[in-house]
Structure 1
Amino acid sequence: MQLVQKCSLTVLLMQGNVGVGVGVGGADGADGILTVAELIRCHEDSNSKLFFVFFLHCFFTIMHLGINFLLVLFASAFLPTNSHLVYKKYYPETTIERLYVPESESRWKVKSEDYTPYDYTACPPNWKCDPDDPNGIKFNEIDGELDRHTFVKKKYKIGPDGRPLNPKGKTGISGRGSLAYWGPNHAMMTIISRGKANKEYYVMRSNRTTTVDAPFLIEYVKKPMVQVFPPTLYQIVIGDMKEIFPEAAILEALEKFYKESSVVYQGYYTDQRNTDNAWSELTILEIDDPSREFFNVVEAKKLTLPETGEEVIFQWEELPEEQVEKKIKEIIKRSDRTTGEKMLHRIRRAKMFFQKQGIHGILPVLNDFVSNSIGLTGVAVTLASFG
């Protein structure tokens, strides 16, 4: 038997953990036994081929990932940054009809003399709103206690009348609408959970919210980059913690929440109250307390939401993580994301997965990947040897 054939069979036997120096040839098996010199040559030859094929495998894998990444960058840079949003005919709680905007004319750079939308600005009761005249407001920066930056793009444009322009395009109605602020109105949804084996989520229930379709509270905040809870949830969590922990421990806990919170999504939020000059953006955070160190003191609460006057109950419930993930996807799906934003979301979810798994969870995944790669490479070497 030729040395090449002996080598290929030996590689297969080594992968099967059978050993080396086994008879595979003639009737007495003598022809298939490798001598020490042949074994050394076979080992060197198979190792070099294994390395070469494995190198090619890694090279083409990296090339594939690189090409996909470049395609994402191209799509983000050159394709339209806003797909066409379809709003309802009438603005919420009014008889004001939106002007229909064809998809071909939805972007601001497309000028249309026929585009003369109704101008509507109204401040909801008990809300503190921007002045009706936006001139003098510091857009695209921190304006006092309010963050007027956007998560949709680097900066939003300001029109010749001093009004900010919706980064997702025309909506069929101008003005501030019934939103509180000109430009971005930042909303926040914080998902808090505790425990590990029997994981519980702090959910909101009411007569209108009796299913898992909408169990998490969304409220407007002033500084989404530094806040970790919307106002109502902050009062509940910190209020209960004050009953048990000293102030120093609470401050330490808040710092821990801020550092360890996972940003699931930050971007445009499709709210029917959005206008050409005022729009909602959403931040979704996840804060987990697997050891129940802090959230174990947070109890069920019955209260009235300040914005809507709705009576709700906050309580701990065991929910499958798949159900929570589904809810998040439903919200994000309505957010009109660009290709780049979708890619960023996938990267964030992957990062969160590895953070949750830890090194003990990552190693088995890597081990499986390496084992499969070596197994496939070994087969390739064997076939190459017979060729």
Structure 2
Amino acid sequence: MLNQRSILALVSSISCFRALNPSLSVAGKTRQSCYTSTEKNFSFNNKYCISTIIQTRGMHEKARCAIYPLKGQADPVKRFTVPNDKVEWSVEWTDYSPLEFTAPFVLTAVWADPPLDKKDFSPSWNSLDEKVNRKSHEGDYKIQDGRPLNPHGRTGLSGRGILGRWGPNHAADPVVTRWQRDGAGSQILNTDSGLPVLEFVCIERGDGGGWAIPGGMVDPGEKVATALKREFMEEAMDSTQASSEENAENSALVDKFFSEGTEVYKGYVDDPRNTDNSWMETVVMSFHDSTGDSVGKLKLKAGDDAKNLKWMAIDDTLTLYASHKAFVKKVAELLKAHW
């Protein structure tokens, strides 16, 4: 018999499957839009961009959501519908005609690549291009007509969308955890599995993308370890608004806590911002405090592009941004915690 969690997961799976196979219906009903951002340039106005489906290295789904997550356009940016059997580039599809789209603000941003036809711009694909890392964690990607191809297949949109780099756009995501405890300080065990319950530091994205791991982009020439600390301090400790004295104290605490971590994932991210020629990749690190003493010293506060922060209990009902649910599940498995 299906329990409530199984039913919720099944409904979510069916909903995302319908988004990618629009000719199908479930009881004749359709899903309505839910997220609209109040932030510049970015919005989540399609429920299929945020689901409870576990997705990492398999067929991407959120990268094919019907409406591209961009705010400020007079007309929504709609993807060319890509059914499951046409995702792979190896499948011939002569009728494939995706919209070419790169957001105007990307074309003028100092942190972004210029257009491919710009004079003197000759990127070195699949390599470290000066300070810009154009290597993929998943091996060499293909180049077609001078453009990198998304290693996970068609997305229904060409160009860069709102991503800065052609090819891989590298991020780093720290999963900071502790055991959930009762008032007496004892670990709380889940009544069904009998396993201890984990909590992780979770931020609510200011762009309307929902709850997520407090990570972000790796700057050109920056080491992943440095990016992990910087992004955590910016989004979970509000370092951009803190005083130099506060930042110095917080940095020392984070340096100590982040000195030992375990890599749980490195590769492609099923992200709604992805396109045929530009996509997200990340390195996910687990940082666990078994006693709760170290994280208890961290002065947590939502900052930068995060609008809320909380310790969130980990289980299979989580609904998180992009592939973050899959990353958190890997941490739970690593620590032999409830899921």
Please give the secondary structure, in 2, of the residue aligned with 1:174: strand
CA distance in 1, matches of 2:79, 2:205: 32
Q: Which amino acid is 2:203 matched to?
A: M
Structure 2 residue 125 is matched with structure 1 residue 139: yes
Please give the secondary structure, in 2, of the residue aligned with 1:301: coil
CA distance in 1, matches of 2:278, 2:254: 35
CA distance in 2, matches of 1:154, 1:91: 27
CA contact (8 A) 1:228 1:285 kept: no
Structure 2 residue 167 is matched with structure 1 residue 183: yes
Please give the secondary structure, in 2, of the residue aligned with 1:91: coil
What is the aligned partner in structure 2 of residue 120 from structure 1?
101
CA distance in 2, matches of 1:232, 1:206: 13
Please give the secondary structure, in 1, of the residue aligned with 2:232: helix
What is the aligned partner in structure 1 of residue 112 from structure 2?
129
What is the aligned partner in structure 1 of residue 190 from structure 2?
none
Structure 2 residue 218 is matched with structure 1 residue 233: no
In structure 2, the CA distance between the partners of 1:232 and 1:103, relative to structure 1 (3 Å rule), is closer
Please give the secondary structure, in 1, of the residue aligned with 2:116: coil
Aligned-pair CA distance for 1:92: 2.6
Aligned-pair CA distance for 1:220: 2.2
In structure 2, the CA distance between the partners of 1:242 and 1:203, relative to structure 1 (3 Å rule), is farther
Structure 2 residue 139 is matched with structure 1 residue 154: yes
Aligned-pair CA distance for 1:154: 1.6
Aligned-pair CA distance for 1:330: 8.2
In structure 2, the CA distance between the partners of 1:334 and 1:257, relative to structure 1 (3 Å rule), is closer
Number of equivalenced pairs: 249
CA distance in 2, matches of 1:295, 1:256: 8
Please give the secondary structure, in 1, of the residue aligned with 2:285: strand
Task: Tell me which of 67, 73, 90 is aligned to 1:90.
Answer: 67
CA distance in 1, matches of 2:163, 2:65: 17
Please give the secondary structure, in 1, of the residue aligned with 2:258: helix
Please give the secondary structure, in 1, of the residue aligned with 2:173: strand
What is the aligned partner in structure 1 of residue 255 from structure 2?
254
CA contact (8 A) 1:123 1:129 kept: no
Aligned-pair CA distance for 1:132: 1.1
Task: Tell me which of 211, 215, 219 is aligned to 1:214.
Answer: 211
CA contact (8 A) 1:82 1:107 kept: no
CA distance in 1, matches of 2:267, 2:65: 21
Please give the secondary structure, in 2, of the residue aligned with 1:287: strand
What is the aligned partner in structure 1 of residue 92 from structure 2?
111
Q: Which amino acid is 2:271 matched to?
A: D
Larger Rg: 1
TM-score for the superposition, normalised by structure 2: 0.57
Task: Tell me which of 332, 335, 338 is aligned to 1:353.
Answer: 335
CA distance in 2, matches of 1:201, 1:333: 12
TM-score for the superposition, normalised by structure 1: 0.51
Q: Which runs of 5+ in 1 are unaligned?
A: 1-80, 306-310, 336-341, 357-387
Aligned-pair CA distance for 1:238: 10
In structure 2, the CA distance between the partners of 1:293 and 1:243, relative to structure 1 (3 Å rule), is farther
CA distance in 2, matches of 1:295, 1:182: 37
CA distance in 2, matches of 1:146, 1:195: 38
Equivalences for 1:68-79 in 2 at 5 Å?
none
CA contact (8 A) 1:130 1:181 kept: yes
Task: Tell me which of 153, 168, 176 is aligned to 2:152.
Answer: 168
CA distance in 2, matches of 1:207, 1:166: 27
CA contact (8 A) 2:213 2:324 kept: no
CA contact (8 A) 2:68 2:78 kept: yes
Equivalences for 1:1-387 in 2 at 5 Å?
83=59, 85=61, 87-93=64-70, 94=73, 95-122=76-103, 124=105, 128-133=111-116, 136-151=122-137, 153-159=138-144, 161-193=145-177, 198=185, 201-205=200-204, 214=211, 216-222=213-219, 225-227=224-226, 229=228, 231-235=230-234, 243=245, 254=255, 257-258=258-259, 260-290=260-290, 294-305=294-305, 312-314=307-309, 317=311, 319-320=312-313, 322-323=314-315, 327=318, 332=323, 352-353=334-335
CA distance in 1, matches of 2:151, 2:207: 33
Q: Which amino acid is 1:221 matched to?
A: V
CA distance in 1, matches of 2:254, 2:325: 33
Q: Which runs of 5+ in 2 are unaligned?
A: 1-56, 186-197
